[in-house]
Chain A
Amino acid sequence: MKWFFVFLVLTVGISLAQSRDGGAVNVSIELRGENKDALVRIETDPNLTKREEVRLWIYRDDDDTRTFESRVVTPLEDGVYEFEYPFTEGSWGLNLRYGTGLDIYYAHVATYLEPSQERTLYFSDTFYGDLSETTPRYMQPLGFSIFALMLAISLTLVITILRWLKRQQKTVVSR
């Protein structure tokens, strides 16, 4: 039983681990004129992102405030994402993320947009990972395994106390 438990803990941890390197990303923003949504196209290395979702923060910088909106996009084909967005004139930024948990990668583009001018803007960046380069690949599964172990210990304590309380109830009533 205990080996089954150890196996379970490690399996849960390992299943969450997908260590990879970041890759290049190309972003194009096609402005289609005033009051028309712009088309944003994102191309990543399909071998890295495969059919994963890409999560975005689309933010607008005004004089002293930053407003943002969260978007999640799914690929049209491996590594290619598209969505429409109603940009207005001003400073805009796109913060892109893919990956899971600690093994997450970011890229970022920022520009000044004038939607009234019909044109397409192109940007390039490279995804960078959150963890340091020297971090071993097994850290994410190991970390989750530690959590799973603490969860199991905590739940065992709580369940033991609750079962004891239930027994005590019966004792009190039967006395």
Chain B
Amino acid sequence: MVETVSRQTLVKQERDLWSLGVLPMLAVGSVAGWLGVYWDIAWHIDKGRDSFFSPPHNFIYAFMLIVLTMSLYGLLRDGRDTPFHLNVGRFNLHPGLLIVAVGAMLVLFFAPADELWHRVFGPDATLWGPMHLIGLLGFTMATFGGLLSCWLERSLGTNKNRQRLFNVSAFYFAILLLGWTMLYLAEFEYGIQFFPMFWYSLLLTGLPTFTLVLIAKLDPFPWATTLTSFFFSVLRLLLSGFLMTTAYFDLAGDNRPHIPLLLFTGLAADILVRRKVPLWLTGLLLGVITFCSNYYQHQLNWYTDSILIGLPLGLVLSVTLSYLAYAVAAALPTLKKVKA
């Protein structure tokens, strides 16, 4: 019976978000936004805050406008009626695209608010300024929405090649989600932190766990988490190349961020999740491994008190996020369940 339902209502789809051109544009927009934010930080360090229409701002907001447009286009054009589309009035809304659209709207609506904030209150430079944080929240949401979109498409599709494509797309967005997660630490990575050092050890220890456990649990293909952390490092190296290029053209980028080492954490996440190690222990071990792998490059500024506060809290965060990632993964459909 389940098979009948899946055949009749789920799989009989001619269009998907890739054929509509939505997912490729989201993929480009998300990575461009990510590069743009790092470039913007480098611009603020090297050139100061000259105007709202600086090249990095134009770059970021142009791509976010594309992301918003494409997600709205996808929401309107994707008229499929499946159990995983939200029926709202005349529309069947794709949940992943809805999250992308809300994320892109957050970024774009708070861009003028950020400008106003700076004009009225001063040129605060911290990445964790309230309006900046709202922008980062929007970017992170949009990327998570991209991952969710790919995963749902993978579950809805019937063609093996198509499923493989969405597997790889979901993997791509997982790398970017890890990238966005680590971007919250950028001012520490650039060495221009505006908050006490314990935040660095706390967030660095805890934050990567969410994406790594999520992708390990989703398990799109063998060793996906190790590969996620590997390609995250590749992406960060490409970022350095991008900033070298902008610096060459005198468009800022002389200062480049430290690259966090997450390869061992990714490998450990793969093994721990596959062996069904309890989540609390998985979170704890991943936190310890992330901290230890990155200790060498920060020992100069990680003084004892900052570690004594940051590390335990970071481990708590890591454990919490491993449970959260597991819950998110459990909420997402698997091929097995859809096609039963």
- Closest residue of chain B to A135, judged by CB? B121
Q: Which one of B21-29, B62-70, B130-138, B158-166 is at the A interface? A: B130-138
Stretch at the interface among A29-37, A118-126, A139-147: A139-147
State the total of A-B contacts with C-beta under 8 angstroms. 132
Does B277 make an interface contact (CB < 8 A)?
no
Q: Does B264 contact A (CB under 8 A)?
A: no
The answer, yes or no, to whether B14 is at the interface (CB within 8 Å) is no
By the criterion CB–CB under 8 Å, are B95 and A175 in contact?
Answer: no
Q: Are A165 and B95 in contact (CB under 8 A)?
A: yes
The answer on a CB contact under 8 Å between A147 and B191 is: no
Asked if A132 meets B122 with Cβ closer than 8 Å, knowing A97-B194, A164-B86, the reply is yes
Number of chain B residues whose Cβ lies closer than 8 Å to a Cβ of chain A: 56
Chain A contacts for B196, CB-based, 8 A: 52-53, 100
Q: Which B177-209 residues sit within 8 Å CB-CB of chain A?
A: 191-197
Q: How far is the CA of A19 from the CA of B257 in the complex (A)?
A: 29
Interface: A117 (CB within 8 A): no
Is A110 close to B, CB under 8 A?
no
Asked if A2 is at the interface (CB within 8 A of a chain B CB), the reply is no
Over the window 121-143 of chain B, the binary record of Cβ atoms lying under 8 Å from chain A Cβ atoms (1 yes, 0 no) is: 11111101111011001000100
Q: Chain B residues with Cβ under 8 A from A66's Cβ?
A: 254
B144 within 8 A of A: yes
User: In the complex the two chains form, is B194's CB within 8 Å of A101's CB?
Assistant: yes
**Residue B10 lies at the interface, judged by CB distance under 8 Å to chain A:** yes
Q: Provide the bound-state CA to CA distance between A129 and B12, in Å.
A: 62
Contact A146 B134 (CB under 8 A): yes
| Bound: A130/B126 CA distance, A | 10
Contacts of B191 in A (CB 8 A): 57, 68-70
Contact A71:B331 (CB < 8 A) given known A147-B130, A150-B137, A172-B6: no
Convert A42-66 into 0s and 1s, putting 1 for each residue whose CB lies closer than 8 angstroms to a CB of B. Answer: 0000000000110101000000011
* B interface list, Cβ under 8 A from A: 1-2, 5-6, 10, 83-84, 86, 95, 98-99, 102-103, 106, 117, 120-126, 128-131, 133-134, 137, 141, 144, 148, 152, 191-197, 254-255, 300-301, 303, 305-306, 327-328, 330-333, 337-338, 340
